[in-house]
Structure 1
Amino acid sequence: MTLSRIRGARLLALAAVAALGLTACSEGGRQATNDNSGGGGNAAGSSGYTIAMITHETPGDTFWDKIKSGAQQAAKDEGVTLKYSNDPDASKQAVLIQNAVDSKVSGIATTLVTPDALAGSVKAATDAKIPVVGFNSGIDQYQRLGALMYFGSDENLAGSTAGKRIGEAGAKHPLCVIQAAGSVALEARCAGVKSAVPGTENLQVNGADDSSVVSTLQAKLSQDKSIDYIVTLGAPIAVDALKAMDAAASKAKLITFDLNAEVAQRIQDGKVEFSIDQQPYVQGYLAVSALYLNLKNGNDMGGGKPVLTGPSFVDKSNIDKILPFTKTNTR
């Protein structure tokens, strides 16, 4: 078997494992940073390819550590030079994509959380014959923008799945907390919850400021005691919610999207009912490896359809197995 086929088989197997998580997804909330890293197998750059990964990461959100960890491991495995950059501001993320185009990278992997704002820069990439894949956000828009492939969760499905579960548990008035304005993924999650529990109410908070999140949530919970479930859309926001719930003496139950080590521990302790995980490590890994295979061998993962990495429930039934991986940024 040739090296390309071995790598292709490995990537297909990983995608299949990700798909198995659908029995039961993120995006987080938290200046731009640059982390130029090839991530153990081959020497960075030995393939001759340079891949730019550009996200809407907000500083401080542990969710993105998992994305980067997966991308760096794929870069190591494939001998790719990985250039990571991020900015939560849509116009600045578009500039980062344009910068990658101007530097003539081999491929671009980008989140598409604000697709209309990024459309021009993505078109500049495709016009320059630079393959683009979307991941994490933009599942319904990636093809329109010209991205070849997509790796992530179906956010509408994730939201409705979460809503159905809490509805069956008796939820009547959930509060869905949106930490980043204009995010199509976050809006889709809350819409999904509301489709299952019509009494769902949305609350906008500033996810870049933890103290603001806590105070906004505390005020809402103190004012409205009918809120019986809180749905946060990122693990750091769940931690803020726990503080707000204590301060407001709220009896609401808490569920969240995404994981970090602290939230995983809170699930084990019974403070968080469950998490809807989209497996960000897998998203980062697949985005880089799929671009490598496309450049090397013309492969198209998914056959024109999104490759789903979630949603998957993490709760009391499986947290003991998953908890250790949250501490190594792989889950």
Structure 2
Amino acid sequence: MNFPNRRRVAVLACASALVTSLAACSSTGGKPDSSGSGIGAGSADTPRITIAMVTHAAPGDTFWDLIRTGAQDAADKDNVELKYSSDPQAPNQANLVQTAIDSKVDGLALTLATPEAMAPAVKSAQDAGIPISAFNAGYGAWKDMGVTQYFGQDETIAGQAAGNRLNDDGAKHVVCVIQQQGQIQLESRCAGAKQTFRGTFETLNVNGEDMPSVNSTIAAKLQQDPSIDGVLALGAPIALTAVQSVGNAGSPAKVFTFDTNAALVDAISDGSVQWAIDQQPYLQGYLAIDSLWLYLNNGNVIGGGGPTLTGPSFIDKTNIDKVAEYAKAGTR
């Protein structure tokens, strides 16, 4: 690896300071720039590189807009061409990774929601000498797969925190809604919540790519069992749909969720959703790209070989006003 010139060293030092600052962000995040297009920063004069980001995002899931915004902001700062693609089906996601490998990208940022299905593609990238950062999904698998960096939350711990909070809120019978069966990060959230929740806890599988079906499935469950007093969603779009389901069913159940988007912030403000567990998706996207730039230009590994945790933290009525400012800018 060539050593950077003095100007590049200065840029790298500034970037490292920025990464350190961002990684220490609380649930209120960093201040967006005045243009409303993300968090402003300088730009690198390092050679232009290409990084592919491949995720398991479902069409229309606005959570991933936050991740993509963070990734693009880092790419713009770092003189990186960002190629983003996604597919919720594991075989298709693996094919997207292979396509990126075949196009000879300089780095890969991946989600590992289905580690077994992704393992051959990850191995193929490693054989081609392409560095990988993992983020958002795959907390329990990334290390064993030989990936050097991970940005996200321990989903089991996040689930346990949700279970404890549900206890504090007085819930007695909760349904945890899984919108994509088989994705380990979603399964881990429900499993963690079940470990700490003291009441009746069950899971409900829905098709997260079909919101009318999600609405009717949750509503039918609530009508079938009036004792349900809590719906725990695993994503903001599901939570917002669950609010409709509660109304359609005439149920007294309250809605709680993981993850946020701008509309979810409004729902917490008006009380239709009680709280959200935030894992800072903008930060995950940003660090997934910025870490690869640092690695390729200076051999840095963020986290020293361990995971960089971006959550969990709670967003509720006590801090929603602070978060709303950044949600409007598209970064929370």
TM-score between the two structures when normalised by the length of structure 2: 0.91
Partner of 2:142: 142
Partner of 1:51: 51
Partner of 2:13: 5
Partner of 1:174: 174
Residue 237 in 1 paired to residue 238 in 2?
yes
Partner of 1:186: 186
Q: CA contact under 8 A between 1:74 and 1:286: conserved in structure 2?
A: yes
Matched AA of 1:303: G
Please, which runs of 5 or more residues in structure 2 have no aligned partner? 1-8, 29-39
Within 5 Å, give how 1:294-313 maps onto structure 2: 294-313=295-314
The Cα shift of 1:40 comes to: 6.8
| CA shift in 2, pair 1:135/1:235, >3 Å | same
The Cα shift of 1:146 comes to: 1.7
Q: CA contact under 8 A between 2:27 and 2:323: conserved in structure 1?
A: no
Please, which runs of 5 or more residues in structure 1 have no aligned partner? 23-38
Whole-angstrom CA distance in 2 between matches of 1:233 and 1:262: 15
Partner of 2:271: 270
Q: CA contact under 8 A between 2:153 and 2:309: conserved in structure 1?
A: yes
Q: CA contact under 8 A between 2:259 and 2:276: conserved in structure 1?
A: yes
Greater shift, 120-129 or 45-54, is seen at 45-54
Partner of 2:70: 70
Whole-angstrom CA distance in 1 between matches of 2:272 and 2:105: 45
The Cα shift of 1:309 comes to: 0.6
The Cα shift of 1:71 comes to: 0.3
Residue 110 in 1 paired to residue 110 in 2?
yes
Q: Secondary structure at the match of 2:130?
A: coil
Within 5 Å, give how 1:1-331 maps onto structure 2: 2-17=10-25, 20-21=26-27, 41-42=42-43, 47-198=47-198, 199-331=200-332
Whole-angstrom CA distance in 1 between matches of 2:11 and 2:247: 55
CA RMSD of aligned residues (A): 1.6
Q: CA contact under 8 A between 1:54 and 1:93: conserved in structure 2?
A: yes
Q: Percent identity?
A: 52
Q: Secondary structure at the match of 1:133?
A: strand
Whole-angstrom CA distance in 1 between matches of 2:120 and 2:140: 17
The Cα shift of 1:79 comes to: 0.8
Matched AA of 2:241: D
Q: CA contact under 8 A between 2:174 and 2:201: conserved in structure 1?
A: yes
Matched AA of 2:10: T
Whole-angstrom CA distance in 2 between matches of 1:204 and 1:286: 31
1:140-166: CA deviation from partner (whole Å, max 9, x where unpaired): 100111211000111111111011011
Greater shift, 96-105 or 5-14, is seen at 5-14
Q: CA contact under 8 A between 1:46 and 1:80: conserved in structure 2?
A: no
The Cα shift of 1:41 comes to: 4.6
TM-score between the two structures when normalised by the length of structure 1: 0.91
Whole-angstrom CA distance in 2 between matches of 1:68 and 1:294: 20
